[in-house]
Amino acid sequence: MNKQHRAAYVAIKEVSQGKHGALTKLLAVVGVSRQAYYKGLKRKETAWEARDRQLKERIQYWFDFHHQGIGAGNLLVNLQHDESITFEVTHKMVRRVMRELGLRCQIRVKKHSRQKANEQYIQDNVLNQNFETDAPNKVWLSDSTELRFGPNGEYKIRLSGVLDLYGRLLLSHHLSITETSAAEIEVFQHAFDRVGDVHPLIHTDRGSAYTSGAFNNFLGRHDVTRSMSRPGTPYDNAPIERWWNEFKLRWMARHPRSKTREELDRLVEEGVEYFNHHNRSAQRNGLTPDEYWNEAA
């Protein structure tokens, strides 16, 4: 007997209880004999069925916890860290349960927007799309993205951030009305205040805030190496571009639009907390960015 049949029997029992003749009529409608009905009610759940039920409950929990934004691979990672799961779970099992529950991760659309840049800019691109690093505070990426709030999304604000390439940990973030050199200096000051005396390679795009004298004089005092994307080549700064994409798709889009600046501030803080401290990934050996970063720092 499958789970649907047992659920139907339980429903019949609840509906017919205390009503004369109701059980006979309901069993006739569904075409089940009294013998099969009572046998089904008394049947105990097998060990496999119990594990399957628990697995479905925990997969649904983690899928909802991550706002329907992770697939089978990262669900498996979370289950492997789930103390309530005491049996072995495989990728195949997770995919099966996701199919049965109708769970489907919203897929990030890959962007294709590379353009050939002029030779004069190549030497400035020190990072040169080398997105692998073996320790914290070796490479920092920075960028800003637009967020909207208000009853009809009529207000705009810029969210700036500094991302450590190691573990994709967002070291600092800052909200400002526009992207200015002062805003970018502030977000970098927060990052340096957090980690202390470090001298990373810092990669940004060529926005006016990042090419300003004030911003580069500030970075010069920290003895860092500068790197900048080629014009029209967002892939040169791909990891933080992806971070913003995931943040908007898996966090902002899954919450009601903030009506006030105060609501937006809270939502952004909670989102950064989620991605830094709860977003486990197989690429980080099942760790969150904060765990992975602190393990090496």
Q: Which residues contact 281 (CB under 8 A, 6 or more apart)?
A: 74, 77, 287
User: Contact at 8 Å (CB) between 176 and 147?
Assistant: no
Rounded to an integer, the average pLDDT of 156-173 is 97
292 C-beta neighbours (distance < 10 Å), count: 21
236 alpha carbon, distance to own chain's centre: 22
Return the HEC string of 197-216: CCCCEEEECCCHHHHCHHHH
How many CA atoms lie less than 13 Å away from 53 in the CB half-sphere?
Answer: 9
Q: Can you count the helices (H) and strands (E) in the chain?
A: 13, 5
187 alpha carbon, distance to own chain's centre: 22
Do the bridges between strand 139-149 and strand 155-164 make them parallel or antiparallel, or are there none, so unpaired?
A: antiparallel
210: closest CA among 230, 242, 183, 234? Answer: 183
For residue range 68-93, what is the model confidence (pLDDT) as tens digits? 888 888 999 999 999 999 999 999 99
Indicate if the pLDDT at residue 178 is higher than 60: yes
- Say how far apart CA 59 and CA 56 lie, in whole Å: 5
Which amino acid type is present at position 92? K
Q: How high is the pLDDT of residue 194?
A: 95
DSSP state, residue 252: G
For residue range 242-294, what is the model confidence (pLDDT) as tens digits? 999 999 999 999 999 999 999 999 999 999 999 999 999 999 999 999 999 99
Which amino acid type is present at position 6? R
Which amino acid type is present at position 94? V
Which is more confidently placed, 176 or 7?
A: 176
62: closest CA among 52, 73, 51? Answer: 73
What would the two tokens of residue 99 be?
A: 């199919």
Is the pTM for the entire model greater than 0.75?
A: no
Q: What whole-number percentage of the chain has pLDDT above 70?
A: 79
User: Contact at 8 Å (CB) between 242 and 107?
Assistant: no
- Say how far apart CA 140 and CA 227 lie, in whole Å: 10
For residue range 6-55, what is the model confidence (pLDDT) as tens digits? 555 555 656 566 566 666 766 676 666 766 666 666 667 678 878 888 99
* Lateral strand order in the sheet of 169-176: 169-176, 155-164, 139-149, 201-204, 225-228
Q: How high is the pLDDT of residue 120?
A: 43
User: Contact at 8 Å (CB) between 145 and 272?
Assistant: no
User: Contact at 8 Å (CB) between 143 and 237?
Assistant: yes
What would the two tokens of residue 157 be?
A: 């604000």
Cα–Cα distances (Å) from 155 to 246, 248, 259, 263, 285, in that order, read 22, 16, 9, 13, 40
